[in-house]
Amino acid sequence: MKAVRFSSFGHPLKVAEVVEEPDAALESGQARLEVLASPINPSDLLTLSGQYGSLPKLPAVPGNEGVGRVVEVKDTTAARVGDIVFLPLGTGTWRSHLVVPAEGLVPVPPGTDLKQAAMMFINPPTADIMLREFVTLQPGDWVLQNAANSGVGRYLISLAKLAGYKTLNVVRREELAAELTALGADVVLTDTDDLKERVRAATGGAKVRLAIDAVGGDSTRRLGDALATGGTVVNYGVMSGKGPKLSAEASIFKDITLRGFWLVLWMKRTPREKQAETFGRLAKLVAQGTLRTAVEGTFSLDEAREALARAMEGGRSGKVLFTPNGPV
């Protein structure tokens, strides 16, 4: 069995290595999965560098989601050889094979694009929950977001469109406008200091009450300044390397609220029934092709350095995935 492993925190290209590991013997109730696809998410890169909010005990295998095929089971009927399933969250998925409890494995809906399914359990629910659980929106309302070309940002555009919301999408590069508009974005703006004025012009002065922030620092401040009185900024990332902040105008005189979101905490606090409803609804949208994100490229585990380098580059057109056992 091959795996990407790291024994210290640091630059991903310096600490990640590909290793051979012995195949673990199955215990009663377990299944062995052949990993078919697993993405490189920003949280994975932050984990490797030691900057994420929750860090594993070292040495560890990165990777938090993906899809796999059951190749062996022991003393259980909860899964069958040949089943295509979602990999359990947070199990170190950048490896060729994974041993997990068979009970609770969730099957991938038949006919689903497996690369799209591999990216379903982190970014789509993050976008969906931030749209639903912080501000009560009505069809026709506007939502403002930065890093709109990110995985979460693209899912948010699609989910907002389905709900009838309009999106203001902030990016760093003007050339992304056509691509995001084709996806369903209503307005695409560059992240500059006159954002407040351009949001007002684009919406005709409509009250924008929800902003989604993946960047932090001054970008958060610009989002807050562009919101209507009483609005909410939801921060879920710090791509700038700086914590989110609001201006005095926003926090004092406009009563803007700054909230944080982390999917791990949501899952700890949310009843299983609601989690199942959320993931089930999103899985159907992925299976239908309604929710999808572009894939920049797929890499074997032996190409881990190339995959990580590509995932860290700016200007990508989509996500980078590991396909440890060949193309899917």
Catalytic residue ranges: 52
Residue 68's DSSP bridge partners are 35, 85
Interatomic CA distance for residues 263 and 270, integer angstroms = 10
CB 311 within 8 A of CB 40: yes
Q: In Å, how far are 123, 243, 302, 321 from 308, measured between CA atoms?
A: 19, 24, 11, 10
Nearest CA among 66, 36, 35, 54 for reference residue 267: 54
Q: Identify the three-state secondary structure at position 5.
A: strand
- Which one, of 107, 108, 133, 7, lies nearest residue 62 by Cα? 7
What is the DSSP code string of 37-98? EEE--HHHHHHHHT-SSS-PPSSB------EEEEEEE-S-SSS-TT-EEEPPTTS--SBSEE
Given a contact cutoff of 8 angstroms between Cβ atoms, the answer to whether 126 and 152 are in contact is yes
Residue 7 CB contacts under 8 Å (≥ 6 apart), including other chains: 15, 58, 59
8-state DSSP, 228 = P
